[in-house]
Homo-oligomer: A and B are copies of this chain.
């Protein structure tokens, strides 16, 4: 009968998940739409296991959800179960755009997803739905 969600999701859990620069950068890149892991790796220029580890952390914290599509995994932001956490998380992921490095990351991601000739192996993962250029 409480107005809040029933789960005892603690706020400090959310903040622990946000307390890492790499995870914030990942959240930033997923702000618009779901993104394939391979693009996350390239956009952030970090090793694949490192990206995967942080995605796992975010998954455990309930901040992202994953969808498999063939060989590829697409991650997207998820709304945390707790009302307050959800409000904060939404505000944070929206506010990341103000950061300089975050904007650069986004630019690099768009370049990877949407450039006519993607770098390296030409056969890439399917593009996310709505990040396509105008």
Count A-side interface residues using an 8 Å CB cutoff.
Answer: 21
**Closest B-chain residue to A22, C-beta based?**
B12
A interface, by DSSP: helix, strand, loop or mixed?
Answer: helix
**Closest B-chain residue to A95, C-beta based?**
B84
Q: Which of A4, A83, A95, A96 has the most CB of B within 10 A?
A: A95
From the candidates B21, B83, B88, name the one contacting A92 in the complex (CB within 8 A): B88
User: Which positions in A face B, CB cutoff 8 Å?
Assistant: 4, 10-12, 15-16, 18-21, 24, 83-84, 87-88, 91-92, 95-96, 98-99
From the candidates B4, B91, B92, name the one contacting A98 in the complex (CB within 8 A): B4
Q: In the assembly, how many copies of this chain are there? A: 2
Tell me the minimal C-beta distance from A62 to chain B in angstroms: 16
Tell me the minimal C-beta distance from A86 to chain B in angstroms: 11
Q: A11-B24, A11-B96, A15-B18 are in contact. List 20 more A-B contacts (CB 8 A).
A: A4-B98, A10-B21, A11-B21, A11-B92, A11-B99, A12-B20, A12-B21, A15-B15, A15-B16, A15-B19, A15-B24, A16-B19, A19-B19, A83-B98, A84-B95, A84-B98, A88-B88, A88-B91, A88-B92, A91-B91
